[in-house]
Structure 1
Amino acid sequence: MLTKTIERTRERYVCAQLSTYTYHHLAFVRKLRVEIFHTVMYGISRIHTVLPISCLSSIDSALMFW
C-alpha cells in the first residue's frame, strides 16, 4: 500500500514537472517568434525608409511570394 502511494506521488510529480517544462518551453517559443517578427518588421520598415519608391514594389512582391 505504501509503495503504491509513493509510486502515485512520484508519477504526479513527474507529470507536474513535464507540464511545467512544456509551459515554459511554449512561452519561450512564443516570445522568440514575437521577437523574430518584430525584428523582421523593423528591418522592412528601415528598408522602406532607405530605398527609393521604385524599389519598394519589387520588394513587396518578393515578400508576398515568400
Structure 2
Amino acid sequence: MLIQRNCNQSLREKIKELRKHDHAFPLLVEADAKTLDLTMEGIRLLPILPPLNVNPMRGKKPTEDA
C-alpha cells in the first residue's frame, strides 16, 4: 500500500510538471512568431536607413591569436 501511495504521488508530481510545460509551449510559440515578425520588419527597414556617419575607433589593432 505504501509503495502504491508513493508511486501515485510521483505520478501526480509528473502531471503537475507536464502541465507547466503545456502552459509554456504556447508562450514559446508566440515569442518565436514575434521574433520572426520583428526580424522581417528589420530586414524590410534596412534599405531606408540613413547612411551612418561613424568612424571606427583608432587604437591598438587586435592580434590574430586573441
TM range (shorter): 0.5 to 0.7
Higher share of residues assigned helix: 1
Q: Distance in 1 between matches of 2:30 and 2:22?
A: 12
Partner residue of 1:33?
29
Q: Does the alignment pair 1:11 with 2:7? A: yes
Gaps of 5+ in 1: 53-66
- Superposition deviation, residue 44 in structure 1: 1.2
Gaps of 5+ in 2: 49-66
When structure 1 is superposed on structure 2, of 25-34 and 6-15 the one drifting more is 25-34
Structure with higher Rg: it is: 2
Partner residue of 1:62?
none
Q: CA RMSD in A?
A: 1.9
**Percent identity over paired residues:** 8
TM-score (ref. length: structure 2): 0.54
TM-score (ref. length: structure 1): 0.54
- Equivalenced residues, count: 48
When structure 1 is superposed on structure 2, of 42-51 and 18-27 the one drifting more is 42-51
